[in-house]
Structure 1
Amino acid sequence: MRNTILLTSLLFSSSIFADVEHVLMQCSSVSDKLDRLICYDKLTDAVKAGKNVTSAQLSAKDSTPKILTVEDSFGLKEKPKDEQIEKIYARVTKVDKNVYGALKITFDNGQVWKQTDARYFKVKIDETLFIKTGALGSFMLGRDNQNTTIRVKRLY
């Protein structure tokens, strides 16, 4: 009930009404019941967190819309043209290596990045790293107190 009141009050805000209405329409068009519920939950969570819902994008894996904020879209191929970020900070929650030794890093914001170069870079769980834009659409991962960075690519 509380979420409904919050969502209703925000729906009448003229600044975000069109975006929320668009996402609601996308959610209502999802045929699978569970995916539709997940879509509504994501929208509600974004509104409760005070995030400005700037766009909704269909996932390549399924037809469930993903609610994207400016930070959520950092590193994806399709970027919002009017809102771009040069650098983000995130805390490491999981680190894996593939058979070639390349790192696969999961952050607390849900983003997963993969190392694309062969440089050595030690990563610890719970440390905060940055990802910044590089030349020609590339991205670099590093830490503030170290001059070394590695080239990374966002997986999802």
Structure 2
Amino acid sequence: MNVTPFAILAALFIASAAAAQSSEAEAVDDAIACLQIEDAGERLACLEGAAKTLKVTRVVREEQTAAAKENEKANFGLAAADKPEQVAEAPKDFGDEAIADVRRDKDGKRIKSINAQVVEISLNSMGRATVSLDNGQVWRQLDSDDKKLHFGKRERLFTAKVKRSAFGNYMMTVNELHRTIRVRRIK
């Protein structure tokens, strides 16, 4: 069996997420149990311990959420074959992407668009654009899109907005040119 570094990281992420959830639940249970202690000093010490555990689990959960958002941002626009395999975070989440309500909820939280500085634009012999952005993404104009981007002769800084369209495609607007083209991400 060939184990990739990504698989190891994914397993660690899942394990830490599960540990954070169980630790949080245990800390809440501990805090509730602390309320039964009659001695005020002991009760306070018990509650402080539970609060510290809750604080740590919250930090872990926030870091995991931030990492997931960064991962989504880095993979914005990539075809499914180019994206890392989606992994269920916990056994209870396995297969939930097939449930319409869950899918709608996840779609509602997805990034809808990005804005970036254009680093390089090149045109092929058919006049189709390939646009490199400062975030490392490279987008190519679809062959079926016949719109042309016209650049002046002088050097100019350009910015672009890439957004999802209704049918899962992507549209790029080069803001300074006031032109929108249909694109797909190639890198």
Q: TM-score, normalised by structure 1?
A: 0.52
Alignment check: 8 A CA contact 1:95 1:125 kept: no
What is the aligned-residue RMSD (CA, Å)?
Answer: 3.2
CA distance in structure 1 between the partners assigned to 2:157 and 2:177 by the alignment: 17
Aligned to 2:68: 54
Shift of 1:135: 2.4
**One-letter amino acid matched to 2:129:** L
**One-letter amino acid matched to 1:110:** G
Shift of 1:91: 0.5
Look at both structures and tell me which one has the larger radius of gyration over its CA atoms.
Answer: 2
Correspondence 1:93 to 2:93: no
Alignment check: 8 A CA contact 2:112 2:164 kept: yes
CA shift in 2, pair 1:19/1:88, >3 Å = farther
SS in 2 for 1:119: coil
Aligned to 1:122: 150
Percent identity between matched residues is: 28
SS in 2 for 1:54: helix
Shift of 1:77: 2.3
CA shift in 2, pair 1:20/1:109, >3 Å = farther
Shift of 1:52: 2.9
Shift of 1:153: 0.7
CA distance in structure 2 between the partners assigned to 1:104 and 1:134 by the alignment: 19
Q: TM-score, normalised by structure 2?
A: 0.44
CA distance in structure 2 between the partners assigned to 1:145 and 1:97 by the alignment: 17
Which segments of 5 or more consecutive residues in structure 1 lack a partner in the other structure?
Answer: 1-16, 22-50, 56-67
Which segments of 5 or more consecutive residues in structure 2 lack a partner in the other structure?
Answer: 1-11, 17-64, 87-102
Q: Which has the higher strand share?
A: 1
The count of corresponding residues between Structure 1 and Structure 2 is 100
